[in-house]
């Protein structure tokens, strides 16, 4: 086995590397996830893709491979899927606020990501301080939904091979294609899923737009807050939503222009316990919610209504 032949194609630098086709990319990622590549090959793969950047065909193939090894979570109605892989560095991590707010409004919400990050405050840590424990399987997810709570599934539970690939970052020092694919996962079976996908660089945003269109995905794309798929509480970001691969203007919003005249009241510290207390105060109405997050909740609700409408037979499945 091994992936040396693929590394020859993708490992020739930013200018000399060649992109893989969908089937090649799927085979490459499948081999990596199934342990068919050596540690040296996996490191070379991670660095080569980091230098080259993924093509649309490559992320499509990578996603297929990860999806095939992902835990299936059944639902009989649409689910909001929120990947949480960046956490907080300077601002409070408000992904749990978005998730809990949506759940209180009646939406089924699934959050997935790592339990811990040595350099950031993860959503899992904030959920823990809010009294929500990680789900260990489909039964726990269903129980959380029955309680009108968001379900948090650790990546290790959702797709253990993917978590091993994400852990390569601790060795080589940079993110890899596993982090890209993690933001695109759809583990929901039996119903549609609105995936909230964040991006930092415009090039990745354009790539995600191409993916949403080509795969007829249900996705909300935004420049995330420190990489998290929640609106920046200080300024309304641009949010583009795609329903069945078609732009949904009523589920989207333009970025706020001009100078911000008033900043929201945010906690000075961003540790998990302080963030949890702030989230509780917002949800109880004790403190005002950041307007951009409130707007995102409205847009997600509009998108869920669009998902509930009959889907044209010609649309593909994402």
Give me the domains of the chain, ranges plus CATH numbers.
4-68 (1.20.970.10), 74-308 (3.40.1030.10)
Alpha-carbon span 165 to 239, nearest angstrom: 29
Residue with tokens 């342990």: 35
What pLDDT, on the 0 to 100 scale, is given for residue 314? 41
Token pair of 171 as six digits:
């060795």
Gyration radius (Cα) of the chain, Å: 19
Q: Say what the pTM is.
A: 0.93
CA dihedral (32, 38, 41, 47) positive or negative: positive
Residue 241, helix vs strand vs coil: strand
Please give the helix or strand (H or E) that residue 82 lies within, else none. strand 79-83
What pLDDT, on the 0 to 100 scale, is given for residue 317? 43
Token pair of 76 as six digits:
């009989």
Token pair of 118 as six digits:
């040595």
Alpha-carbon span 135 to 142, nearest angstrom: 9
Token pair of 297 as six digits:
């909740």
What pLDDT, on the 0 to 100 scale, is given for residue 230? 97
Residue 41, helix vs strand vs coil: helix
DSSP 167: T
Q: What are phi and psi of 270, to 5 degrees?
A: -125, 20
Token pair of 256 as six digits:
């706020």
Token pair of 141 as six digits:
């997810």
Which residue stretches of the chain have pLDDT < 50?
A: 313-318
Could you give the residue ranges of the DSSP H alpha helices within the chain?
4-10, 13-16, 22-33, 39-52, 56-68, 95-104, 123-129, 138-146, 155-158, 160-166, 169-172, 177-182, 202-214, 272-283, 291-308
DSSP 175: -
Residues 6+ apart with CB under 8 A from 131: none
For residue 312, give the nearest of 224, 219, 245 by alpha carbon.
245
Burial status of residue 15 (CB atoms within 10 A of its CB: 0-12, 13-18, 19 or more) = exposed
DSSP bridge pairs for 198: 222
What pLDDT, on the 0 to 100 scale, is given for residue 224? 87
pLDDT digits (tens, 9 = 90+) for 295-315: 999 999 999 999 987 655 444
| Residue environment code for 103-134, b if the CB has 16+ CB neighbours within 10 A, otherwise e | beeebbbbbbbbbebeebbbbbbbbbbbebeb
Alpha-carbon span 15 to 198, nearest angstrom: 27
Residues 6+ apart with CB under 8 A from 286: none
What pLDDT, on the 0 to 100 scale, is given for residue 12? 84
């Amino acid at each position: 086995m091994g992936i040396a032949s693929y590394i020859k194609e993708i490992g020739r630098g930013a200018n000399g590397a060649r992109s893989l086709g969908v089937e090649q990319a799927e085979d490459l990622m499948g081999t990596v996830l199934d342990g068919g590549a050596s540690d040296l090959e996996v490191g070379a793969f991670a660095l080569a893709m980091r230098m080259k950047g993924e093509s649309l065909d490559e992320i499509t193939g990578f996603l297929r491979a990860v999806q095939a090894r992902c835990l299936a979570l059944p639902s009989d109605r649409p689910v909001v899927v929120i990947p949480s892989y960046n956490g907080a560095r300077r601002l409070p991590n408000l992904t749990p606020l978005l998730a809990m707010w949506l759940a209180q409004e009646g939406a089924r919400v699934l959050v997935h990501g790592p339990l811990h990050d040595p350099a950031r405050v993860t959503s899992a840590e904030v959920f823990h301080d809010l009294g929500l424990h990680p789900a260990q399987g489909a039964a726990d997810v269903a129980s959380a939904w029955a309680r009108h709570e968001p379900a948090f599934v650790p990546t290790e539970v959702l797709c253990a091979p993917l978590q091993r690939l994400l852990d390569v970052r601790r060795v080589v020092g940079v993110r890899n294609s596993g982090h890209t694919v993690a933001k695109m996962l759809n583990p929901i079976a039996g119903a549609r899923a609105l995936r909230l996908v964040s991006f930092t660089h415009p090039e990745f945003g354009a790539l995600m737009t191409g993916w949403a269109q080509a795969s007829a995905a249900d996705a909300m794309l935004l420049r995330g807050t420190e990489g998290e798929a929640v609106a920046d509480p200080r300024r309304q970001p641009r949010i583009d939503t795609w329903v069945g691969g078609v732009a949904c203007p009523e589920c989207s919003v333009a970025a706020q222009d001009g100078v911000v005249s008033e900043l929201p009241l945010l906690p000075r510290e961003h540790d998990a316990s302080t963030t949890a207390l702030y989230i509780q105060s917002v949800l109880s109405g004790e403190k005002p919610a950041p307007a951009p997050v409130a707007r995102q909740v409205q847009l997600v609700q509009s998108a869920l209504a669009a998902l509930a409408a009959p889907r044209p037979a010609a649309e593909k499945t994402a």
